[in-house]
Structures are given as C-alpha cells and as structure tokens.
Amino acid sequence: MRVLGIDPGIAVTGWGVVESSGNKYRAVAHGCIRTARETTLPMRLGAIFSGINLVIAEYQPQRVAVEEIFVAQNPASALKLGHARGAAIVAANHGGLEVYEYSALQVKKAVVGYGRAEKHQVQEMVKMLLAMPKQAPADAADALAVAICHLNQIPLLRLTGLRAS
C-alpha cells in the first residue's frame, strides 16, 4: 500500500509518500510545497492544489492521509490553515483518492508513542522507522508521520469496516 501523507500549511505544506510491504515501511519520496507570503491567498491555495496534484501523478498513492487542524490562539491562522488543508483535500479528491484525517495527537502517538512529542522527536522517529539516512525537513517529516499513522491504522480500519480495503 502506498500512502501520501500531508501536513498542510499556507506557507509550507509538507508531503511524504510511504509504502508498506507487510510490516515494513519505506519512504518513497518527500518534500514541501512553499508559497510566497506576498502572493495572494487564492494564488497560494492554487499552488498547494497544483503541487499535491503533481505529487499524486508522479507517485501514484492509493490513499491520502491529512493532519487535522489544531486551533490554538490565533483564529486567523487557523482559518488560513483550513484553506490550505481544503486545497490539499480537494486535490486528493480530484485524483480519485480516499482521504483519511488524523489529529496531531494521533500522529505523534502512532509514531513516537507519546501524543505530546516535540517536532525533533517526530523527525528522529520517522528517520528510524523508515530507515532514512538523514532526517527529513520538519514539515516533510510531519507528513511522513501522517502516512505512517494511517498505515498503522489500516488493520483497525479493516476490522471495523471503516473505509479500508
């Protein structure tokens, strides 16, 4: 199974493709879609949509997993993040792919074993779990972690019959 994980952001959207073979995972590719601050919001969303479409076309994932929005103290930032997340989800739907959503807590717990893990801990565990020679950049590592989280959930999804095949 090949899963595209997405860590949405308006300035930087991380993406990572992870493939599973039995209980072994390997990183296929990862990267970031960056948008310029001086660009209009519609242009930034278009860049995210186009970038995710290119990743889907090149790496042919079977599923997409996206991190959910975490709202802390800045509603304006959360709204922009929601727009970026929406652009990524629409791109996945446009590609005919099922989209699964996971909270940051779920992702960190699945990868590090602790839901309040810090970014550097996630980066290091992703590197170890995927036997990567070096750490991925933070946003790409987060996206790879989202993909790993989904791959870990597949047996449970099959058991419960919730959209997994």
Classify 119 as helix, strand or coil.
helix
Considering only CA atoms, give the Rg of the chain.
Answer: 15
Q: What is the mean pLDDT of residues 139-155?
A: 94
Give me the pLDDT at residue 161, please. 61
The span from the CA of 143 to the CA of 136, in Å, is 10
Q: How many angstroms separate the CA atoms of 106 and 132, rounded?
A: 22
At residue 165, the pLDDT reads: 38
Question: Which domains does the chain show, CATH number per domain?
Answer: 2-160 (3.30.420.10)
User: What pLDDT score does 164 carry?
Assistant: 47
Helices (H), the chain: 41-59, 75-94, 104-111, 119-129, 138-160
User: What pLDDT, on the 0 to 100 scale, is given for residue 19?
Assistant: 98
Predicted confidence at residue 163, as pLDDT, reads: 60
Rounded Cα distance between 25 and 127, Å, is 11
Exactly one of 98, 118, 139, 142 is catalytic; name it: 139
Angle 18-20-21 from CA coordinates, rounded to 5°: 150
* Active-site residue flag, 98: no
pLDDT at residue 158 in the model: 62
Is the pLDDT at 152 greater than 50, yes or no?
A: yes
pLDDT score recorded for residue 162: 59
Quick check: is 142 catalytic?
A: no
d(CA 28, CA 18): 6
pLDDT tens by residue, 88-144: 999 999 999 999 999 999 999 999 988 888 989 999 999 999 999 999 999 999 999
Q: What is the pTM of this model?
A: 0.92
Provide the pLDDT for residue 140.
98
pLDDT at residue 22 in the model? 85
Question: Which residues have a Cβ under 8 Å from the Cβ of 90 and sit 6 or more positions away?
Answer: 49
Residue listed under structure tokens 């296929």: 28
User: 53-85: per-residue pLDDT in tens?
Assistant: 999 999 999 999 999 987 667 888 888 999 999
Q: CA dihedral in degrees (30, 36, 42, 46; nearest 10)?
A: -30
CA 32/CA 136 separation, integer angstroms: 10
CA 8 to the chain's CA centroid: 7
Q: Which of 38, 58, 67, 101 is catalytic?
A: 67
pLDDT value for 32: 98
